[in-house]
Amino acid sequence: DIQMTQAPSSLSASVGDRVTITCRASQAITNYLAWFQQKPGEAPKSLIYAASSLQTGVPSRFSGSGYGTDFTLTISSLQPEDFATYYCQQYNTHPRTFGQGTKLEIK
């Protein structure tokens, strides 16, 4: 299985900050990388696919980049509704695997 490792595990930031979360795959996955946002008690929400393509309706302050094994999710200017847990996921091979999550908290 491909292991997905996110950093940091948690992050404190303020409204308006720019934040970056990283995700590393244990082997190359080209750009078959997705990002999800999950708020407490809710299902994950799809944000990004193909490493950098935004799902319909996702605000443009979210962006993704990367190829191969190293990827990033950037939120350009944090809004109150962005405080949540973020997961990366590879879909290069089965089984699909997820990162352990990054909890983004209000400073």
Partner 1 sequence: QVQLQESGPGLVKPSETLSLACTVSGSSISTYYWTWIRQSPGTGLEWIGCIYSTGSTNYNPSLKSRVTISVDTSNNQFSLSLSSVTAADTAVYYCARETYYSDSRGYSGHAFDIWGQGTLVTVSS
Residue range at the interface with partner 1 (CB under 8 A); choices 8-16, 17-25, 26-34, 69-77:
26-34
- Of 11 and 54, which CB lies nearer to partner 1 in the complex structure? 54
3-state secondary structure of 55: coil
* Region class of 32: left (phi > 0), else alpha (psi between -120 and 50), else beta: beta
Q: How far is the CB of 44 from partner 1 (least distance, A)?
A: 6
Phi, psi of 57 (to 5 degrees): 90, -5
By C-beta, is 14 or 60 nearer to partner 1?
60
Compare residues 6 and 78 and give the one whose CB is closer to partner 1.
6
Q: Does 24 bind partner 1 (CB under 8 A)?
A: no
Q: What residues between 78 and 107 interact with partner 1 by CB under 8 A? A: 87, 89, 91, 94-98, 100-101
DSSP output for 33-48: EEEEEE-TTS--EEEE
Q: List the one residue out of 87, 99, 75, 71 whose CA is nearest residue 13.
A: 75
Whether 36 contacts 102, CB under 8 Å: no
Q: Which of 3, 10, 27, 53 binds partner 1 (CB under 8 A)?
A: 53
DSSP character at residue 82:
G
Interface with partner 1 by CB under 8 A: which residues?
Answer: 1, 30-32, 34, 36, 42-46, 49-50, 53, 55, 87, 89, 91, 94-98, 100-101
